[in-house]
Structure 1
Amino acid sequence: MSLAQQVGLGEQTAVVLLADIADASRLWGWSRIVRGPRALRRVPGLLFSKVLGSGYEGGFDLRPSPSRQGVFALFDSAESAHDFIAHSPLVHAYQERSKEFCWATLKTFSCRGSWDGLSLQATAEAPTQGPMAALTRASIKFSKAQAFWRHAPPSQTALEGVAGCQMAVGLGEAPFFRQATFSMWDSVNAMNAYARSGAHLEAIQAAQKNGYFSESMFARFVPLKVHGQWRGKHYA
């Protein structure tokens, strides 16, 4: 039985943590990457988790950031997700050791594809107005990596400056080959306008035509709450 089959519908709620680790705590930050999801194994209600590095300055540069990183975690309910934010020693450790720290709780309203066999279950209606968030991730085939990265930088540069984008973060499980992007938008229409035009559309078409990915996932969310600071911007 696959992980996607084992995880039931329920009221799944996702959490995204973003941290810019303080200089004095960078060794601790790197240890989070090394330990990965093992540090979250006993968290109540946790269904799935990833500890992610980031591109330089939290963006989409191929150079890894020495300090910025993220966590994606999926919980069986909103209560479990909120309890994790409020009481987890790991969350408190990130807060204490970071120059900037931001978190978001999210409900999925659509998901295509999978992440290590997991496909997120839709537990919310698509918003007719107001903000939304998106997570894209892909495992890039070794033989296709060079071709993929010819398309990726123009697409990602366009994302950072596009109208209606509140936040865009380059993340990844491993440099070059296991990449992810988390973004927040003013509305579904703003997200669609970006996704269906310009460099991003060209990148999608190239990936589909040339089979760049061994696995990919594109999920959209309704933000329940966003709090903290990221790249100088405050969220409440």
Structure 2
Amino acid sequence: MSALWSTYGDMLLAAIRTHLYYVVISVAIGFVIGALLGILLSRVPQISKIVMPILSVFQTIPGLAFIGIMYMWIGMRPLTVIIALATYAIFPVLKNTYTGILEVPDQYVEAARGCGMTRFQILWKVELPLASASIYAGLRMSTIYTVSWAVLAAMIGLGGLGDFIYQGTTSNNNTLILLGAIPAAILALLLGALIDWFQRRHTPRGMRKEVRR
């Protein structure tokens, strides 16, 4: 183990930092855009029935093909990876935000309107809090997916844990494959757990699903 660390330790730490950088930036961008689009589409459900299937088409494009297109357009730059990953990160957040808001019971919205709240106040104080579980689920899904998609950065020479995986597959070296795959899996679990912790910390007690004994 010590020999393995002395050989690959510095490279592995650098790959983890690069991978995490791609994931955090891409998910942050995807979350903001996805949440905003989800809110806007929830206001026009008639249009959303047309727009949502069109947007979902992006999810069917193979990641390698999309990042290749970005590479031809932008070149070998981190921005290429970030745009590609952020695009994929948008839809889970968008879909869950849209669904979560539409599933808010009408009586709560009507009660808030009867109290004299504005449309923005209803959105901010009623709809988004009640839809928060669905939104966090979309964020968690988006983050975990992005961790796996980020290995594609290595295909265009932009680093990350994918370097170990692709070097291992081309040289038939299982050790290198595991050096890339295991940290990626751990990273996905840790980021998912962090989102769960953040959700518990910022969800009012009365809205938590856990039953305190």
Larger Rg: 2
Q: Which has the higher strand share?
A: 1
Specify which structure has the higher proportion of helix. 2
TM-score by length of 1: 0.23
TM-score where L is the length of structure 2: 0.25
